[in-house]
């Protein structure tokens, strides 16, 4: 399609992609623009919806220190969502269109946020595994072919490293606590391990967008390559924590130089992505409700600007 | 959702440095844009000063005219000190 070397426009774009980042006002194929809008919007929605599972535990954090840290982390995720909406807007869409698309179910967010957070240990498992998987996905995006997306990712990746560490620290503390606390940590990891591996998407053989996305320099590694990278980094950390990862097939393969692991449950992933996960309805209801509940703030700000903006304009004229 | 205008945010990291473009955001007015910019772009002490300007008020050169627009600078090598021959032994020049 767009990669046809006989098409001069496609050839010029391929050259631009290899020469360095594509910037908003450069000519680009419509399909490239559409792919980026879809991906960046979905990424932004994930950051915003991702505040919910952890936000539910802010009022129940076990200490003031943990509460302050969790608030800072959730606030960062809001910031990540805003950086990404801004990056998407450079492609000619309006943030309000994207938010509407989320609210109407026309755009998606990461399946991971449709799992419930049942105990405090889930804050540890999410920071360690979910943010860890997100970082693995996001680091290569810092060099993706679209400049504004890449720059947003650089900022996000800088902020993410504390997210993962605070999660690891929560689990480390629990693992040095009472038997009940250790059991709680293990239970959280048992529930979040497989959903975290699903964050990398379906296996390569079933991934619809990978080839084109890689040709355009948006994606630099396949789903399975990134999943493998995450497993390889995480297994030694689990050992250090004294936690067992719930995969009987997990073992070091000296020949490959990687850990072998079992396959993700593709049916479960498909169900959750299709909206039938444990918390999909709850997350969307909460998001729409929060948006509606905030309407008066937006109206008040607009009314304030109308009043004082008019007064300022008069003062300038006068 | 909101008809709020887009603002471009420039942050000075430290005294002595220029303001650098950090990103953009939506806000109803300049004051709110500054507050939002503080919360969004300086949560870790990344700045000592912020400028915000409405994106609509920026005028940018066009990438299509890149070559012709910047062409006048291309053939004036004599604007660079390396263009000039300096006799051996001459210092501080
Ligand atoms: Fe994030
Ligand atoms: Fe995060």
**DSSP conformation letters of B37-74:** HHHHH-TTS--SEEEEEEGGG-----GGGHHHHHGGGT
Quick one: pLDDT at residue A318? 55
Alpha-carbon distances, residue A135 vs A131, A168, A201, A300 (angstroms): 6, 14, 15, 38
Q: By three-state DSSP, how is residue A270 classified?
A: helix
Q: A245: closest CA among A208, A206, A192, A286?
A: A192
ipTM associated with this complex: 0.85
Quick one: pLDDT at residue A5? 57
Quick one: pLDDT at residue B2? 55
Distance from residue A156's CA to the centre of ligand 2 (Å): 8
Q: Note whether A298 contacts B2, CB cutoff 8 Å.
A: yes
**Average pLDDT for runs of 10 along chain A of length 318:** 66 87 92 96 97 97 97 97 96 95 94 96 98 96 96 94 96 98 98 97 85 91 96 98 98 97 95 92 96 93 84 67
Interface test with B, best of A44, A86, A92, A287 (most B CBs within 10 A): A86
Residues of chain B with pLDDT under 50: 1
Quick one: pLDDT at residue A1? 46
Interface of chain B toward chain A, CB-CB under 8 angstroms: 1-4, 6, 23-29, 32, 39-40, 43-44, 60, 62-64
Quick one: pLDDT at residue B70? 86
* Tokens found for residue A209: 């967008």
Backbone angles phi, psi at A283, to 5 degrees: -65, -45
Strand ranges (E), chain A: 251-253, 258-260
Q: Note whether B28 contacts A76, CB cutoff 8 Å.
A: no
């Amino acid at each position: 399609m767009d990669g046809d070397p006989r098409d001069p426009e496609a050839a010029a774009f391929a050259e631009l992609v290899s020469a360095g980042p594509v910037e908003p006002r450069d000519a680009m194929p419509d399909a490239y623009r559409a792919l980026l809008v879809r991906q960046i919007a979905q990424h932004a929605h994930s950051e915003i919806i991702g505040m919910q599972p952890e936000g539910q535990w802010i009022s129940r954090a076990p200490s003031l220190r943990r509460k302050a840290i969790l608030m800072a982390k959730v606030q960062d995720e809001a910031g990540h969502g805003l950086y990404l909406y801004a990056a998407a807007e450079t492609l000619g869409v309006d943030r309000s269109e994207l938010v509407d698309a989320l609210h109407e179910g026309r755009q998606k967010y990461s399946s991971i946020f449709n799992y419930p957070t049942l105990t405090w240990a889930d804050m540890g498992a999410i920071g360690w595994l979910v943010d860890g998987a997100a970082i693995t996905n996001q680091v290569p995006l810092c060099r993706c072919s679209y400049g504004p997306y890449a720059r947003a990712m650089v900022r996000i990746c800088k902020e993410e490293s504390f997210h993962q560490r605070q999660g690891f620290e929560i689990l480390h503390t629990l693992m040095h606590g009472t038997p009940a606390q250790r059991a709680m940590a293990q239970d959280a990891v048992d529930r979040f391990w497989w959903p975290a591996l699903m964050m990398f998407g379906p296996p390569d053989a079933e991934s619809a967008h990978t080839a084109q996305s890689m040709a355009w320099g948006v994606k630099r590694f396949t789903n399975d390559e990134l999943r493998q990278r995450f497993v390889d980094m995480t297994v030694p950390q689990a050992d250090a924590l004294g936690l067992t990862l719930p995969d009987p097939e997990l073992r070091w393969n000296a020949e490959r130089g990687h850990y072998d692991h079992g396959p993700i449950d593709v049916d479960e992933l498909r169900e959750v992505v299709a909206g039938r996960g444990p918390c999909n309805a709850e997350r969307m209801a909460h998001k729409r409700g929060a948006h509606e509940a905030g309407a008066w703030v937006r109206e008040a700000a607009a009314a304030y600007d109308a009043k004082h903006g008019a007064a300022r304009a008069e003062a300038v004229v006068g | 959702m909101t008809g709020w205008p887009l603002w471009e945010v420039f942050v000075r990291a430290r005294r002595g440095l220029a303001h650098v473009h950090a990103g953009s955001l939506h806000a109803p007015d300049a004051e709110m844009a500054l507050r939002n910019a503080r919360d969004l772009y300086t949560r870790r002490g990344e700045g000592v000063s912020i400028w915000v300007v409405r994106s609509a008020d920026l005028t940018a050169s066009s990438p299509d005219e890149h070559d012709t627009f910047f062409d006048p600078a291309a053939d004036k090598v004599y604007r660079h000190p390396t263009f000039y021959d300096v006799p051996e032994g001459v210092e501080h020049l």
